[in-house]
Copies of this chain bind each other. A is one copy, B any other.
Amino acid sequence: MSPHASDDVSVESISPYGTARATVKDTPLSKEEAKKIDDYFKASLYLCLGMLYLKQNPLLQEPLKVEHLKSRLLGHWGSDAGQIFTYIHFNRLIKKYDLDSIFISGPGHGAPAVLSQAYLEGTYSEVYPDKSEDVEGMRRFFKQFSFPGGIGSHATPETPGSLHEGGELGYSISHAFGTVYDNPDLIALTMVGDGESETGPLATSWHSTKFLNPITDGAVLPVLHLNGYKINNPTVLARISHKEIESLFIGYGWTPYFVEGSDPETMHQAMAATLEKCVTDIRAYQKQARESGKAFRPHWPMIVLRSPKGWTGPRKVDDHYLEGFWRAHQIPLPDVATNAAHLKLLENWMRSYEPEKFFDESGKLIPELKELAPQGNRRMSANPVANGGLLKKPLHMPDFRNYAIEVHRGGTTEAPSMSNMAIFIRDIIAANQTNFRLFGPDETESNKLGGVYQAGKKVWMGEYFEEDGDGGNLDFTGRVMEMLSEHTCEGWLEGYTLSGRHGLLNSYEPFIHIIDSMVNQHCKWIEKSQEVEWRAKVASLNILLTATVWRQDHNGFTHQDPGFLDVVANKSPEVVRIYLPPDGNCLLSCMDHCLRSSNYVNVIVADKQNHLQYLDMEAAVEHCTKGVGIWDWASNDQGCDPDLVMASCGDVPTMESLAATALLRENLPGLKIRFVNVVDLFKLVPESEHAHGLSDREYSAIFTNDKPIIFNFHSYPWLIHRLTYKRPGQHNLHVRGYKEKGNIDTPLELAIRNQTDRFSLAIDAIDRMPSLGNTGAATREKLLNAQIRCKNEAYENGIDPKMLQEWVWPF
């Protein structure tokens, strides 16, 4: 069917049809075993079609009629057979070798596959007693699928055994690796869709083996499912030559084993033999490394499973291809309600799976098949790793107060907030050597967190060169995970926390947008998990953003974007928390709080450079606990109403706001100024909208109802308006922030471009107080001139004037 014949086209070699072609040539199953597995396979496939179609008559105990069908047919058939096939063959090995395993379902909308298994294994009925193992339970189980008020067509949080939803594609392999790090006995059997494989995040995540230690970590066993089609297109990997696909995975560092075909009998033998080969290889590599104490990077086994999309369905319907084509992607026969012939076809098809043989009259799976599945927590649908909160142990946390930066008087001493905090993290790493990891896309050192290497180096299973000894900080065993892929780092961290451990991702602020969508999806996972009774809380996903916009003056415009906060703020208030500590002690306090929390996505924004310090530890703890507060030491409105509120959120903005306050007080000594700092961004929204929100009364007590507020914000200014639009006095709120004005600048110039510098803020304040009259106007003029002078000096020398760099709070 090629549009132009060519020698390069060789259809036969890669067709998914026929008897099995496999790398491993063994036939380990007895006839009886093979038959039982095939029966279990059929029972599973029956359940899949049941979920797609039925709300009544679940066991087809009467002839199929339109009224048994759901009114709106939803769900996906395409990858179900291949996934089930893999799952049930692995069950045999779990039992044979007593494996500790989970199943990660990568292909899109493959939930029927895993749901069928959870139901057959009894787990489903255990966690949802109304979906019992009988006819009525099965009916409910079918009806709820892709039904309003029911469950989705992904492996959502409601799915026992799942920690990977797969709604958005691309993260199965990185999630899988996250689960096996520091889980030496675990094998994550990971089904990877060939559609999913085209995504960038998936394509690079195969390299995760360079960061996996066979002594201390478990193993990922990927099964790349060459299902052939996506929604409406063939997949790239299913349409390249055998040599190419084989080379690709050798290149990625794996040993690919092929299982290809459609004939169930031979395919069962091939899959059984191949999976067993993989499991024994994995165990052999682990044994070699563990017994010798010498870690190395094996060429881990993986499987390429080529089977037809919609396998076991009708190949053609009304002269159109169904099985083995993209038409099998979703509901395979969509018009059964209106086409009697198709309804009959569906009935015959469903009956061909022989439900009456495999389920007894009461609707229960027959014991001969039931015994094929493992027992208890060995069932992949019941493995507590996939409900990681059950396994989660609290971190051993040193007292963060011990890392305090000494601050005698606010705003007069500089210190490196970030590298100081690194020592706290270092000691957390030291105290939690198998329970905590730090992740980052090659920026940990640049982000001034290099101190952590004293307690845990960077895991590196690639080759070593002589210069690595010169400060390379690489090791086979380490606690820091660095690959230049935000996607992979985030995926690892998600997998690591979802399976019951703790972690922190550090990233340049501008490039965290790369994983906007991943973080969105994780927020959604956590939110839904909170509604699932049997799910235990997992550790929060902690993201530390540094190399922030205001100190990316020298890296240029591409490195200037503080908008991740807008993305996060759109997610459910049940889940998201945002902190912008103004100094080093507040940073410690926030980090401590985040690492102790669970079921949140915490974002901390803090610059990595030296900064003025404001609060001693006691004051910092109090301030962070409140989340927002008046800084008395920087205010002069004690005992009276202020004329003006200067407010700030973020470390650099706080310094500029303080400097503006000082300029105003120096030049207009009669002015009563209140200084407010916000650490916890969600304090700004009403209490009805976020658990952290202030009541209007609390808000007004801090910000006033009627005084001008000059608010200097770290991110885009509109976010503050968005959070406060319901507040009394919001019309007095004048917000400055990053306005997408930048290039190669000095820090001051970047601030001036965006009007967040001390001079602009002081001028803003004067402009909002016309009652200052001529005195105000004269001060305004003076400030404007000072601003211009500073700017000129910066342009001339390429650095900001000393007077600004060395500015301290003068009162």
Contacts and interface: CB of A to CB of B under 8 A. Distances in A.
A23 interface: no
A153 B553 CA distance: 12
A202 B210 CA distance: 18
A716 interface: yes
Contacts of A446: 231-232
Interface string A470-485: 1110111000001111
Nearest to A791: B148
Interface in A158-217: 165, 167-170, 195-196, 198-205, 207, 210
Nearest to A329: B446
B484 A199 contact: yes
Nearest to A462: B239
B148 A746 contact: yes
Nearest to A525: B558
A800 to B, nearest CB: 9
A483 to B, nearest CB: 6
B464 A1 contact: yes
A2 interface: yes
A749 B148 contact: yes
10 contacts: A1-B468, A4-B294, A5-B294, A8-B296, A11-B465, A148-B745, A199-B487, A204-B204, A234-B472, A321-B467
Given A250-B247, A511-B517, A744-B148, A321 B11 contact: no
Contacts of A248: 247-248, 250-252
A485 B247 contact: no
A326 to B, nearest CB: 8
Given A152-B743, A297-B8, A716 B570 contact: yes
Given A4-B476, A513-B567, 20 more contacts: A1-B467, A2-B464, A9-B464, A11-B463, A72-B799, A149-B743, A149-B745, A170-B200, A199-B484, A228-B465, A232-B482, A236-B462, A240-B463, A247-B247, A251-B252, A320-B470, A320-B471, A524-B557, A528-B743, A563-B567
A763 interface: no
Given A198-B485, A200-B170, A250-B244, A232 B445 contact: yes
Given A251-B248, A554-B146, A563-B567, A6 B295 contact: yes
Nearest to A558: B167
Interface string A636-673: 00000000000000000000000000000000000000
| Identical chains in the assembly | 2
- Nearest 10 Cβ contacts at the A-B interface: A167-B558, A248-B251, A200-B200, A239-B462, A152-B556, A203-B204, A247-B251, A513-B517, A198-B484, A2-B464
A483 B252 CA distance: 21
A702 interface: no
Interface in A581-595: none
A744 B249 contact: no
Interface in A519-547: 520-521, 524, 527-528
A588 to B, nearest CB: 24
Contacts of A521: 558
B200 A207 contact: no
Interface stretch (A352-360, A424-432, A612-620, A717-725): A717-725
Contact of A74 (B169, B207, B246, B554): B554
A195 B484 contact: yes
A501 to B, nearest CB: 23
Interface of A: 1-11, 14-15, 55, 70-72, 74, 146-154, 156, 165, 167-170, 195-196, 198-205, 207, 210, 228, 230-236, 239-241, 243-253, 293-297, 320-321, 324-325, 442-446, 458, 460, 462-472, 474-476, 482-488, 510-511, 513-514, 516-517, 520-521, 524, 527-528, 553-559, 561, 563, 566-567, 569-572, 716, 718-719, 721-723, 725, 730, 740, 743-746, 749, 794-795, 797-799
A485 B251 contact: no
Given A14-B463, A148-B745, A251-B247, A567 B156 contact: no
A559 B154 CA distance: 11
A511 B567 contact: no
A70 B249 CA distance: 48
A253 B245 CA distance: 9
A799 B557 CA distance: 49
Contacts of A566: 563, 566-567, 570
A235 B558 contact: no
A250, A458, A484, A744: most-surrounded residue (chain B CB, <10 A): A484
Contacts of A239: 210, 460, 462-465
B236 A798 contact: no
Contacts of A152: 555-558, 743-744
B799 A443 contact: no
A487 B566 CA distance: 21
B554 A463 contact: no
